[in-house]
Each structure stands twice: as structure tokens, then as C-alpha cells.
Amino acid sequence: MSFTLAIVGRPNVGKSTLFNRLVGKRLALVDDTPGVTRDLREGDARLGDLRFIVIDSAGLELAEDDSLQGRMRRLTERAVEEADICLFVVDARVGVTPADEIFADILRRKNANVILAANKAEGNAGEAGALEAWSLGLGEPLRISAEHGEGMDDLYHVLRPLADDFAAKNVAALPETDVVIEDELSEDDIPAYIPPSAAKPLQLAVIGRPNAGKSTLINKILNEDRLLTGPEAGITRDAISVKTDYMGTPMRIWDTAGMRKKARVNEKLEKLSVADGLRAVRFAEVVVVLLDVNIPFETQDLRIADFAETEGRAVVVAANKWDLEDDKPAKLLELREAFERLLPQLKGAPLVTVSAKTGKGLDRLHAAILKAHEVWNRRVPTAKLNNWLSAMTEAHPPPAPGGRRIKLRYMTQAKTRPPGFVVKATHTDKIPEAYGRYLVNGLRESFDMGGTPIRIYFRDQG
Ligand code: GDP
Ligand code: GDP
């Protein structure tokens, strides 16, 4: 899944029909449970070989409490913020209406990446309306028929380059398992670290088990109630994200706060939601694993933290509800000890104490996130690495299975996000795992690389 497409437009133009066509039966969560209201419907879409997330902003007509227009406007704005690309649908048979112009305005104001589609244009229908849609000033209208599946190949050809472009900018959204390590990379092949910016916000996920304080923390960071917590919280389904400015750093926070709220409704939803939490990890560069300081490092916490490490994300562990702690120094020692023992794979990752409720420690958390992000992007020059490698093998030589000593000849960094190193060696199949760990821990200490997974790839060199 590479990008998120939001289908927007006024009621009745065919948004849901198009959503259903793109998603088919793959809708992740069918929302017929009483008490679960939703606004933005989301599903996994397919179009040719493209896989993406589609958000449908239809179904708003059900709102009773509020003026339809106001609500629609807000939700459209939210859909636009969450999406990478917007598909703006108008009705080719009706032509451009004043409501369409309002939507066009929102899209322009939000500077959205817009594809314009004139729907209900099957056969030769709607030619005049499609032409009229040029007047919206959003480029060439694609003529499509959601109901009859016409124009989908055109849609594909418009989406394809945008999808590629997005994938190139968002390496983080690619699963780590897709990484191919070329043998002959040099440090110059790895792009230098670019700090987060408005154009490329740091992708952050806050994960943790129900009641750890995720919603409270995210709301505190956002400093406004944009995540819709409270009784209405069931409407945040799946992973959604919001852009924000956390102490001056542009970030996009992936929210999984809906987990607990849905768990209250029924079992089935809860299971899906845990998967959603993990899904947020896939979009994140830095993952904050939030613990409840009263019950830290329980099985669920360990699993969540381990998942973030396996996925190759930078990890910061935050112990929340610190305000409730009386004997802070003793508790801190206890936490550190448990951390080292239970999460050796995250050795060196920062452990910060926070109170989401009072806001205390949010500055430390911010600093730890930035540092972890930088370390996750860290490059170590080849010359330094090789000096280091000789010192390491001298201090603690690799074993000699069957009398033939393993030789580690040469080392270079092959990737970042997270850092990955290739070591050319003899008898690579005989190198014990413990020796790999020795090198990884050594790299952490020598190059100050706590907070990121580190990968070592041994390559045979006779
Ligand atoms: P939404 O309110 O924008 O989600 O619109 P819907 O998807 O509910 O569609 C509104 C109406 O337009 C329904 O009666 C659909 O059957 C009809 N419709 C949707 N797409 C097409 C199309 O491509 N051609 C025609 N002729 N009708 C369509
Ligand atoms: P989530 O399920 O992880 O999103 O957790 P919530 O944010 O809904 O918080 C669960 C409960 O813990 C709520 O009653 C919060 O008020 C409380 N809580 C969250 N953070 C703190 C904190 O830092 N200190 C204290 N004392 N309570 C907190």
C-alpha cells in the first residue's frame, strides 16, 4: 500500500459507487455494529497493479446534529489532510453546480494533489458536463463511469506516476522486507540526512495498549481536540493521521487511539484494531511505545515494541503517568533494569518518562524522537567502520569452526532507515548469531546509535 486517495465531492455524484468499485469486497471493517458511527470510510483499493488506501467521504448525509454543509466541509478538509491524492468527483450529467465550486475551493485552498473526474459518463453520456468541468480550474476532467467501470484505465494512468512519486518520497511506507542490499554500495550512495520539514514531516506513530494514554498524549501534542476523543471516539477507525507542529518540528502523527474505544463495542472489532495499530507502525519512521508506568513491560507492550524493531523503525520508549509515581528515582531504576532485560533487541533506545496529562516531559520526548530519527538516518564513513572492525575483531576474534578461522575482511554501510551494514567475510554460514549481536551492540556504543534497529548482512568473500 503506497498512498492514500480520498474521494471527495458533493452528495450523489457517485463517490460510494466508485469506492465500492475500487475496494470490491476488501473493505477492512464492515461497520454495521450499533454504536459505531463513522465518518470517513476507508478500504484497501486495487487498480491494476496499484495498491492503495481509499477514503470515502460519502455517507455524511446521515448526520443529524449539524448543518450538512458545515459538517461536509469539515470532513472534506480532514479527508484532504489525510490523503496524499484527492479524487474530486463531479456529475457529468448534471454539470458544474455551486456546491462543486465550494469543493473546488477547499481543494485549492488546501493545495491538494487533485485528480478531477466527471462521473456517470458511460457511453457518450455527459459530454457537455465533462467539458464544463474544465471551468473548475483543476485540469483535465477524466471521464469515468463508476457504475459501469469505464475510464478506470485512464484513472490508472493518471495515478501511476503520482503513486511512484509518492513512494519515492516515502521510503518509510515500504516494508523493510522489500529492501535489497547491493553488494557494492559505498557511503556516497546513501543520501544524507535531511531533517524533518513542512514538506517532509517526521512520520510518528504512538502505540501501546489500551489505556496507556495514547489519546491523551497525542491530544496534548496537538494541543487541540483534533482526534475526536470522548464519546464520539469510535469514529476514528483504522489508522488515521494528522499533521502537526510538535515543538517546532513538523510531524505527521499516526493515530491508533480508536483501539480501546472499539474494544468496548465488541471482540471482533478489537482484533482488527490491534492490527490497525501495527499498521500505523508501517507508516511511521519513529515509533513511540507508550507504557503505563503502573503496569510497564507486560506481554502486549513487549510484542508491540518487538514489532516496531522487526519492522525496522526507530523506537522511543515512553513511560507515561509519571505524575502518579511517588518514588521516582527508584521507579526509574526499576524501569531501566526491566527494559534491558526484556527488550535486549532495543538496547540503547531512549527511555523517557512523561505525563501526558500534565504535559511534563513532552520536551524530553520531543528531543528523544528527533534524536532517534537522526540516528535512524545515520551514515558512518567506510574508513571509520573498517578501523572499528579491526579493533572489534582484535578485542574479540570470531570463532574458528573446525580449525578454520572466520575472517571479517571489510565493512561498509549499505543503507539507512534503519542503518544496515555489509560485512565481507569468509565462512559466513558459520558466523554465530552471538557474534552478530556483539557487532551490533558495538556499533551502537561506538557510534552513538541508540534508538534504531541495526542490521548486519554478512557476505561471502572467499
Ligand atoms: P455519493 O453520494 O457521491 O456517494 O453517490 P453514490 O455512489 O451513492 O451514487 C449516487 C447515485 O448515482 C446512485 O443512484 C448511483 O447508482 C448513481 N451512479 C453512480 N455512479 C454512476 C455512473 O457511473 N453512472 C450512472 N448512470 N449512475 C451512477
Ligand atoms: P489510550 O487508550 O491509550 O488512548 O488511553 P487514554 O488517553 O484514553 O487514557 C486512558 C486513561 O489514562 C484516561 O483516564 C486518562 O485520563 C489517563 N491518563 C492518560 N495519561 C495520563 C497521565 O499522564 N497521568 C495520569 N494520571 N493519567 C493519565
Query: In this predicted model, which residue has the larger pLDDT, 60 or 129?
Result: 129
Q: Which DSSP category does 145 fall into?
A: B
Cis status, amide bond into 418, omega within 30 of 0: yes
SS3 435: helix
**For the segment 178-205, what is each residue's pLDDT rounded down to a tens digit?**
445 555 556 566 677 888 988 788 989 8
What local confidence, expressed as pLDDT, does residue 358 receive? 94
Residue closest to 320 by CA, chosen among 295, 347, 284: 295
Q: Scan for cell 470515502, then name that residue.
A: 56
Q: Are 65 and 94 in contact (CB under 8 A)?
A: no
Q: Is the CB–ligand 2 distance for residue 427 below 6 Å?
A: no
Query: Which has the minimum average pLDDT: 243-257, 285-299, 339-353?
Result: 243-257
Residue closest to 218 by CA, chosen among 261, 257, 262, 263: 257
Q: Which ligand is nearest to the CA of 236?
A: 2
Residue 301 pLDDT class (50, 70, 90 cuts): confident
**For the segment 10-48, what is each residue's pLDDT rounded down to a tens digit?**
888 999 889 989 987 544 333 333 333 345 677 778 898
d(CA 187, CA 383): 10
User: Which of 12, 60, 61, 93 has most ligand 1 atoms within 8 Å of its beta carbon, as the pocket-test mutant?
Assistant: 12
What local confidence, expressed as pLDDT, does residue 399 receive? 86
- CA of 90 from ligand 1 middle (Å) equals 11
C-alpha cell at 60: 455524511
**For the segment 145-189, what is each residue's pLDDT rounded down to a tens digit?**
999 999 998 999 888 887 777 665 554 444 444 445 555 556 566
Query: In this predicted model, which residue has the larger pLDDT, 320 or 68?
Result: 320
d(CA 43, CA 26): 7
Mean pLDDT of 251-260: 59
Q: Are 126 and 118 in contact (CB under 8 A)?
A: yes
Q: Please state the pTM of the whole predicted model.
A: 0.60
d(CA 41, CA 12): 16
Percent of the chain with pLDDT over 90: 38
Residue 440 pLDDT class (50, 70, 90 cuts): very high
- The minimum-distance atom of ligand 1 relative to the CA of 61 is 2
**For the segment 398-423, what is each residue's pLDDT rounded down to a tens digit?**
988 788 888 999 999 988 889 999 99
Q: Which residues contact 323 (CB under 8 A, 6 or more apart)?
A: 355, 357, 358, 360
Number of H helices, E strands in the chain: 13, 15
Average pLDDT, the chain: 80
What local confidence, expressed as pLDDT, does residue 256 receive? 54
Residue closest to 262 by CA, chosen among 300, 240, 235: 235
Q: Scan for cell 453520456, then name that residue.
A: 125
